[in-house]
Amino acid sequence: MILTDTHTHLYSEAFDEDRDEMIARALKADVKRFFIPAIDSTYTQSMLDLEKKYPDHIYLMSGLHPTHVKENYREELDHVKQMLAQRKFYAVGEIGIDLYWDKTFLKQQQEAFRTQIQLAKQYQLPIVIHCREAFEEIFEILEEENDEKLFGIFHCFTGTKEQAEKAISFNMKLGIGGVATFKNGKIDQFLHEIDLKHIVLETDAPYLSPVPYRGKRNESAYIIEVLNKLAAIYNMVPEEIANTTTENSRDVFGV
Protein backbone atom coordinates (compact mmCIF):
# COMPACT_ATOMS: atom_id res chain seq x y z
CA MET A 1 0.00 0.00 0.00
CA ILE A 2 1.33 3.43 -0.97
CA LEU A 3 -0.30 6.53 0.45
CA THR A 4 0.15 9.97 -1.07
CA ASP A 5 -0.12 13.15 0.96
CA THR A 6 -0.95 15.63 -1.79
CA HIS A 7 -0.62 18.67 0.49
CA THR A 8 1.79 18.90 3.42
CA HIS A 9 3.94 21.80 4.65
CA LEU A 10 6.86 19.67 5.87
CA TYR A 11 9.16 22.71 5.88
CA SER A 12 6.94 24.49 8.44
CA GLU A 13 8.55 25.90 11.58
CA ALA A 14 6.14 23.65 13.51
CA PHE A 15 8.43 20.71 12.58
CA ASP A 16 11.79 22.35 13.33
CA GLU A 17 12.31 20.27 16.48
CA ASP A 18 11.53 16.83 15.04
CA ARG A 19 11.19 17.01 11.25
CA ASP A 20 13.18 13.85 10.46
CA GLU A 21 11.36 11.82 13.10
CA MET A 22 8.00 13.07 11.84
CA ILE A 23 8.86 12.11 8.25
CA ALA A 24 10.11 8.71 9.46
CA ARG A 25 6.74 8.11 11.17
CA ALA A 26 4.95 8.92 7.92
CA LEU A 27 7.17 6.63 5.84
CA LYS A 28 6.58 3.84 8.36
CA ALA A 29 2.82 4.41 7.93
CA ASP A 30 3.19 3.83 4.13
CA VAL A 31 3.03 7.53 3.24
CA LYS A 32 5.71 7.47 0.54
CA ARG A 33 4.84 10.55 -1.55
CA PHE A 34 4.71 14.09 -0.17
CA PHE A 35 3.62 17.01 -2.34
CA ILE A 36 4.83 20.28 -0.87
CA PRO A 37 2.91 23.51 -1.56
CA ALA A 38 4.69 26.87 -1.54
CA ILE A 39 3.66 29.88 0.54
CA ASP A 40 6.05 32.64 -0.52
CA SER A 41 9.72 33.19 -1.39
CA THR A 42 10.87 33.07 2.24
CA TYR A 43 10.24 29.29 2.29
CA THR A 44 11.86 28.41 -1.03
CA GLN A 45 15.26 27.41 0.37
CA SER A 46 13.69 25.23 3.09
CA MET A 47 11.68 23.45 0.40
CA LEU A 48 14.74 22.86 -1.76
CA ASP A 49 16.68 21.55 1.27
CA LEU A 50 13.87 19.12 2.05
CA GLU A 51 13.85 17.81 -1.51
CA LYS A 52 17.63 17.36 -1.41
CA LYS A 53 17.37 15.30 1.79
CA TYR A 54 14.44 13.11 0.64
CA PRO A 55 14.73 13.06 -3.17
CA ASP A 56 12.69 9.85 -3.56
CA HIS A 57 9.70 11.12 -1.60
CA ILE A 58 9.41 14.91 -1.95
CA TYR A 59 7.70 16.72 -4.85
CA LEU A 60 7.72 20.51 -4.83
CA MET A 61 5.22 23.11 -6.01
CA SER A 62 5.86 26.77 -6.71
CA GLY A 63 3.36 29.52 -5.99
CA LEU A 64 2.20 32.45 -3.89
CA HIS A 65 -0.35 31.67 -1.16
CA PRO A 66 -3.32 34.08 -1.17
CA THR A 67 -2.86 35.12 2.48
CA HIS A 68 0.69 36.19 1.56
CA VAL A 69 -0.50 38.48 -1.24
CA LYS A 70 0.58 41.85 0.18
CA GLU A 71 2.04 45.12 -1.12
CA ASN A 72 5.02 43.25 -2.60
CA TYR A 73 2.90 40.62 -4.41
CA ARG A 74 4.32 41.48 -7.85
CA GLU A 75 7.87 40.78 -6.63
CA GLU A 76 6.63 37.51 -5.18
CA LEU A 77 4.99 36.59 -8.50
CA ASP A 78 8.29 37.36 -10.24
CA HIS A 79 9.96 34.90 -7.87
CA VAL A 80 7.40 32.22 -8.84
CA LYS A 81 8.08 32.93 -12.52
CA GLN A 82 11.84 32.68 -12.00
CA MET A 83 11.56 29.40 -10.11
CA LEU A 84 9.32 27.83 -12.75
CA ALA A 85 11.76 28.88 -15.47
CA GLN A 86 14.75 27.42 -13.59
CA ARG A 87 13.71 23.89 -12.65
CA LYS A 88 11.04 21.20 -12.48
CA PHE A 89 8.00 21.66 -10.25
CA TYR A 90 4.96 19.39 -10.06
CA ALA A 91 2.26 22.05 -9.63
CA VAL A 92 1.61 25.75 -9.21
CA GLY A 93 0.29 26.05 -5.68
CA GLU A 94 -1.01 26.78 -3.37
CA ILE A 95 -2.85 29.62 -5.03
CA GLY A 96 -6.34 31.05 -4.82
CA ILE A 97 -8.39 33.47 -2.72
CA ASP A 98 -8.79 33.73 1.05
CA LEU A 99 -11.33 36.19 2.43
CA TYR A 100 -11.46 34.72 5.94
CA TRP A 101 -8.77 36.85 7.60
CA ASP A 102 -8.69 39.97 5.49
CA LYS A 103 -10.42 41.36 2.39
CA THR A 104 -7.98 44.26 1.92
CA PHE A 105 -6.07 42.64 -0.93
CA LEU A 106 -8.96 40.97 -2.77
CA LYS A 107 -8.15 42.61 -6.13
CA GLN A 108 -4.48 41.68 -5.79
CA GLN A 109 -5.41 38.12 -4.78
CA GLN A 110 -7.59 37.85 -7.89
CA GLU A 111 -4.77 39.13 -10.10
CA ALA A 112 -2.22 36.78 -8.48
CA PHE A 113 -4.60 33.82 -8.91
CA ARG A 114 -5.18 34.58 -12.61
CA THR A 115 -1.49 35.14 -13.27
CA GLN A 116 -0.53 31.86 -11.64
CA ILE A 117 -3.23 29.88 -13.46
CA GLN A 118 -1.77 31.22 -16.71
CA LEU A 119 1.74 30.25 -15.60
CA ALA A 120 0.52 26.72 -14.84
CA LYS A 121 -0.96 26.47 -18.32
CA GLN A 122 2.28 27.76 -19.84
CA TYR A 123 4.23 24.96 -18.10
CA GLN A 124 1.44 22.39 -18.52
CA LEU A 125 1.17 22.00 -14.74
CA PRO A 126 -1.78 21.46 -12.43
CA ILE A 127 -2.88 24.17 -10.02
CA VAL A 128 -3.55 23.57 -6.33
CA ILE A 129 -6.30 25.87 -5.10
CA HIS A 130 -6.65 27.39 -1.63
CA CYS A 131 -10.21 28.65 -1.08
CA ARG A 132 -11.50 30.09 2.17
CA GLU A 133 -14.83 31.93 2.20
CA ALA A 134 -14.28 32.61 -1.49
CA PHE A 135 -16.03 29.92 -3.55
CA GLU A 136 -17.87 32.49 -5.65
CA GLU A 137 -14.72 34.50 -6.38
CA ILE A 138 -12.70 31.36 -7.18
CA PHE A 139 -15.35 29.92 -9.49
CA GLU A 140 -15.66 33.24 -11.33
CA ILE A 141 -11.96 33.14 -12.26
CA LEU A 142 -12.02 29.41 -13.08
CA GLU A 143 -14.96 30.12 -15.41
CA GLU A 144 -12.88 32.76 -17.22
CA GLU A 145 -9.81 30.51 -17.41
CA ASN A 146 -11.64 27.27 -18.19
CA ASP A 147 -10.11 25.32 -21.08
CA GLU A 148 -8.45 21.98 -21.76
CA LYS A 149 -5.22 23.20 -20.09
CA LEU A 150 -6.91 23.88 -16.75
CA PHE A 151 -6.64 21.05 -14.19
CA GLY A 152 -5.54 20.43 -10.64
CA ILE A 153 -6.71 20.00 -7.06
CA PHE A 154 -9.21 21.93 -4.96
CA HIS A 155 -7.19 21.63 -1.76
CA CYS A 156 -8.91 21.16 1.61
CA PHE A 157 -12.34 20.98 0.03
CA THR A 158 -14.99 22.10 2.54
CA GLY A 159 -17.89 23.08 0.30
CA THR A 160 -21.30 21.64 -0.52
CA LYS A 161 -22.07 18.78 -2.91
CA GLU A 162 -23.03 21.36 -5.58
CA GLN A 163 -19.71 23.17 -5.11
CA ALA A 164 -17.88 19.82 -5.26
CA GLU A 165 -19.54 19.03 -8.59
CA LYS A 166 -18.73 22.50 -9.89
CA ALA A 167 -15.07 22.13 -8.89
CA ILE A 168 -14.94 18.75 -10.64
CA SER A 169 -16.46 20.33 -13.77
CA PHE A 170 -13.31 22.51 -13.98
CA ASN A 171 -11.18 19.35 -14.07
CA MET A 172 -10.28 19.56 -10.38
CA LYS A 173 -9.81 16.68 -7.96
CA LEU A 174 -11.02 17.28 -4.40
CA GLY A 175 -8.30 17.29 -1.74
CA ILE A 176 -9.83 15.56 1.29
CA GLY A 177 -8.16 15.80 4.69
CA GLY A 178 -8.94 16.08 8.38
CA VAL A 179 -12.21 17.98 7.86
CA ALA A 180 -13.79 14.71 6.68
CA THR A 181 -13.35 13.35 10.22
CA PHE A 182 -14.92 16.35 12.00
CA LYS A 183 -18.41 15.98 13.45
CA ASN A 184 -19.40 19.35 11.94
CA GLY A 185 -17.29 18.92 8.79
CA LYS A 186 -20.39 18.13 6.68
CA ILE A 187 -18.52 16.83 3.63
CA ASP A 188 -18.76 13.28 5.01
CA GLN A 189 -22.53 13.50 4.42
CA PHE A 190 -22.28 13.61 0.62
CA LEU A 191 -18.81 12.32 -0.28
CA HIS A 192 -20.17 8.83 -1.02
CA GLU A 193 -22.08 10.44 -3.92
CA ILE A 194 -18.82 11.69 -5.45
CA ASP A 195 -16.95 9.09 -7.52
CA LEU A 196 -13.66 8.16 -5.82
CA LYS A 197 -11.82 8.93 -9.07
CA HIS A 198 -12.23 12.63 -8.18
CA ILE A 199 -10.64 12.33 -4.72
CA VAL A 200 -7.06 12.71 -3.45
CA LEU A 201 -5.88 12.52 0.17
CA GLU A 202 -4.04 15.25 2.03
CA THR A 203 -3.19 16.41 5.54
CA ASP A 204 -2.32 20.12 5.18
CA ALA A 205 0.11 19.39 8.03
CA PRO A 206 0.78 21.03 10.46
CA TYR A 207 -2.82 22.31 10.21
CA LEU A 208 -6.28 20.68 10.36
CA SER A 209 -5.46 17.54 12.33
CA PRO A 210 -8.02 14.77 11.92
CA VAL A 211 -9.92 13.27 14.83
CA PRO A 212 -8.56 11.98 17.28
CA TYR A 213 -5.71 14.51 17.00
CA ARG A 214 -7.90 17.57 16.45
CA GLY A 215 -6.45 20.64 18.15
CA LYS A 216 -2.92 19.22 18.07
CA ARG A 217 -0.20 19.64 15.46
CA ASN A 218 -0.99 17.65 12.34
CA GLU A 219 1.57 15.46 10.58
CA SER A 220 1.60 13.36 7.43
CA ALA A 221 1.32 10.02 9.28
CA TYR A 222 -2.16 11.09 10.43
CA ILE A 223 -3.41 10.69 6.87
CA ILE A 224 -4.24 7.15 8.03
CA GLU A 225 -7.21 8.62 9.93
CA VAL A 226 -8.49 10.25 6.72
CA LEU A 227 -7.94 6.99 4.83
CA ASN A 228 -9.95 5.03 7.39
CA LYS A 229 -12.76 7.60 7.36
CA LEU A 230 -13.02 7.39 3.56
CA ALA A 231 -12.95 3.60 3.73
CA ALA A 232 -16.01 3.82 5.99
CA ILE A 233 -17.73 6.44 3.80
CA TYR A 234 -17.18 4.46 0.57
CA ASN A 235 -17.59 1.07 2.22
CA MET A 236 -14.27 -0.10 0.79
CA VAL A 237 -11.10 -1.55 2.31
CA PRO A 238 -8.44 1.07 3.16
CA GLU A 239 -5.94 -0.46 0.68
CA GLU A 240 -8.35 0.14 -2.17
CA ILE A 241 -8.87 3.77 -1.15
CA ALA A 242 -5.07 4.19 -0.85
CA ASN A 243 -4.41 2.69 -4.28
CA THR A 244 -7.13 4.66 -6.06
CA THR A 245 -6.28 8.02 -4.47
CA THR A 246 -2.56 7.51 -5.17
CA GLU A 247 -3.40 6.72 -8.81
CA ASN A 248 -5.53 9.88 -8.88
CA SER A 249 -2.55 11.87 -7.58
CA ARG A 250 -0.41 10.40 -10.38
CA ASP A 251 -3.01 11.54 -12.91
CA VAL A 252 -2.77 15.09 -11.59
CA PHE A 253 0.94 15.47 -10.92
CA GLY A 254 2.23 13.20 -13.69
CA VAL A 255 4.45 11.25 -11.32
Domains of the chain with bracketed CATH: 3-253 (3.20.20.140)
Q: Sign of torsion, CA 120 103 10 238?
A: negative
Q: What is the pLDDT of residue 101?
A: 86
Helix (H, G, I), strand (E, B) or coil at 213: coil
Q: What is the pLDDT of residue 185?
A: 85
Query: If pLDDT is split at 50, 70 and 90, which confidence band does 43 have?
Result: very high
Sequence-distant (6+) residues with CB within 8 A of 65 are 37, 38, 39, 40, 94, 95, 130
Pick the closest to residue 171 from 184, 187, 196, 154 (CA basis): 154
Query: If pLDDT is split at 50, 70 and 90, which confidence band does 88 have?
Result: very high
pLDDT, the chain, mean = 97
Q: What is the pLDDT of residue 102?
A: 86
Q: Assess whether pLDDT exceeds 90 at residue 28.
A: yes
Q: What is the pLDDT of residue 126?
A: 98
Query: If pLDDT is split at 50, 70 and 90, which confidence band does 173 have?
Result: very high
Burial class, 63, CB count within 10 angstroms (exposed 0-12 / middle 13-18 / buried 19+): buried
pLDDT tens for each residue of 182-215: 988 899 999 999 999 999 999 999 999 999 999 9
Q: What is the pLDDT of residue 209?
A: 98
**Range 50-77 average pLDDT:** 98
pLDDT tens for each residue of 117-136: 999 999 999 999 999 999 99
Share of the chain above pLDDT 70, in %: 100
pTM for the whole thing?
0.97
